[in-house]
Structure 1
Amino acid sequence: MQDTIDSETSESPMKGQASIRPRLLLLGDNARALWHPLAPVKEQLDAMLGSAFDIFVSEDYDALASLHERDYDALLSYADCWESKLTPEQTAGLLRFVSQGGGLLVIHNGISLQVSYELAQVIGAKFIGHPPYQPLTYVRAAFDHPLLEGVSDFTVEEEPYRFELDTFTPRRILLEFDYEGARYPAAWEHPYGLGRVVYLQPGHCAASFQPASYRRLIVNSLRWVSTRLQARD
């Protein structure tokens, strides 16, 4: 049984029109995707998010250059841009957006934004490779965290992404996965300026989004990053 919250998907925000729903920009690739096309994942997101969010979709990375928190509450990166290079303007736009209070949720290959070293620091880690696609068990690593409300341990076939964690990031690990007798980080959150950042490792294909607990975690994460941190005095 799938978790559903109600959905509406649009192409671009309507300037000047008030909305009581958080506005989410979904960034990814279809024709240019190397391994992870956006379309099947967008269908899963539409099904689970429902009318709780206004979703705007872009395959144009220039959207990052003009990204502003007055237009969107959060960016969801499902970018598959491993062999591309972001322009300084695109990188600066996303840095500005998050530091000024916009949210960032990065799912699976969305970490390919690490082609910009500045964005690897924002995400809090760098992808360094993965063993073969296989069943993985994900276990909670922070039972008292609000992002894990309604989330249980789950098993799904997935690519066991491995990371080099940024030592300066004050992250909170949310999920870990078991592999060959050891546990590795699979999800985390941290602040960045006035914004919130969450990374979730599962997401190789549409089937990755089927476990009810993972669907709940995605919804929780989007609500979390869509809430701005208060500026310190």
Structure 2
Amino acid sequence: MKRIVALLGDYYHPKEWSISALNKALTLLNKEENIECKIIQTSKIQEELSKKPDAVILFKEDRLNPADENVETWMTEDIAEAIAQYVKQGGGWLAWHSGLASYSIESSYTKMLRGHFEFHPVEHAHVKYTSLEGKDLFGPVSFEILDEHYFVKVDEEHTNVFLKSESVDGNSIGGWSHHYGEGRVCCLTPAHNEEGLVHEDFIRILASTIEWVSGT
């Protein structure tokens, strides 16, 4: 039995959409392995980390109220450091789409990720995601979806880029992974829209990244 904890949904990303995608990915994985997934609130993250789950999935940005004048965030440096220590000691972490967004660049969390979200164009576009030849840790990938094209900055010398993204707005990195201490970190930029989140090819790579970070 593998135990996974997930924090899903925020102001711009309906929780129900990511739950649907996650359930489809877990259905694929549960054909081979028994995985238990617990969805939690941010207030419970340190308590759950202390229980040493096999992996944590974050599909939630740092901002709690991005449309308000005074924006509040949930990830304190204490929480960021607790996350980094959890992974160093053998945990797995999947930063999925908004799990890369609005977190402090100087935090222990972002330093652990070795990359962060910079911006996305206002208009959604057809984004093509393709695995890099010879670096397709999660299998060969090539699919196109209407998406919020994330442009990210990644420390490519200290991680393994396995997915690239391309649209009319330019090229960026779609996924990267690395070991961090005794643990594993994976970052995945798609997807924003409901249709993209449940796209069959995206579900396959989501399942593969979950499998990898959880050590299955």
What interval of TM-score do these two structures reach, taking the shorter chain for normalisation?
Answer: 0.7 to 0.9
Alignment of 1:10-21 (within 5 A): 20=1
From 226, 230, 233, the counterpart of 2:214: 226
Tell me how many residue pairs correspond in the alignment.
201
Q: Alignment partner of 2:178: what SS?
A: strand
Maintained 8 Å contact 2:128/2:165? yes
Structure 1: which 5+ runs fail to align?
1-19, 229-233
Q: Which residue of 2 aligns with 1:44?
A: 21
Matching residue's letter, 2:161: I
1:60 aligns to 2:42 (yes or no)? yes
Distance, in Å, in 2 between the alignment partners of 1:96 and 1:185 is 26
CA contact (8 A) 1:142 1:175 kept: no
Q: Which amino acid aligns with 2:126?
A: P
C-alpha displacement of 1:56: 0.2
Unpaired segments ≥5 residues, structure 2:
64-70
SS in 1 for 2:78: helix
Q: Letter of the aligned partner of 1:128 in structure 2? A: E
CA distance in 1, matches of 2:53, 2:183: 12
Partner of 1:34: 11
Report the counterpart of residue 146 of structure 1 in structure 2: 137
The alpha-carbon distance between structure 1 residues 85 and 71, as it changes in their structure 2 partners (threshold 3 A), is closer
Q: Report the alpha carbon displacement of residue 113 of structure 1 after superposing the two structures with TM.
A: 6.5
Greater Cα offset, 128-137 or 179-188 = 179-188
TM-score with structure 2 setting the length: 0.83
Summarize deviations over 1:75-121 as a string: whole Å, max 9, x none.
Answer: 00011323514223311210111111100011100113623622111
Query: What SS is found at the alignment partner of 1:81?
Result: coil
The question of 1:74 aligning with 2:55 is answered yes
- Residue matched to 1:95: 84
Distance between the aligned counterparts of 2:48 and 2:77, measured in 1? 12
Which of 80, 94, 97 is 1:105 aligned to?
94
The one-letter code matched in structure 2 to 1:117 is S
**1:168-207 alignment, distance < 5 Å:** 170-180=158-168, 182-207=170-195
Which residue of the partner structure matches residue 135 of structure 1? 126
Evaluate the alpha carbon distance shift between residue 164 and residue 48 of structure 1 in structure 2; reply closer, same or farther with a 3 A threshold: closer
The equivalent residue for 2:112 is 122
* Residue pair 1:24, 1:76 contacting (<8 A) in 2 also: yes
Q: Distance in 2 between matches of 1:98 and 1:63?
A: 13
Deviations 1:3-41 (A, max 9, x none): xxxxxxxxxxxxxxxxx2x11100124xxx220122221
Q: Measure, in 2, the Cα distance between the counterparts of 1:28 and 1:139.
A: 25
Q: What is the CA-CA distance between 1:134 and the residue it aligns to?
A: 1.3
Give the TM-score of the pair, scaled to structure 1: 0.78
- What is the CA–CA distance in structure 2 between the aligned matches of 1:100 and 1:127, rounded to whole Å? 26
Aligned partners of 1:156 and 1:208 also within 8 Å: yes
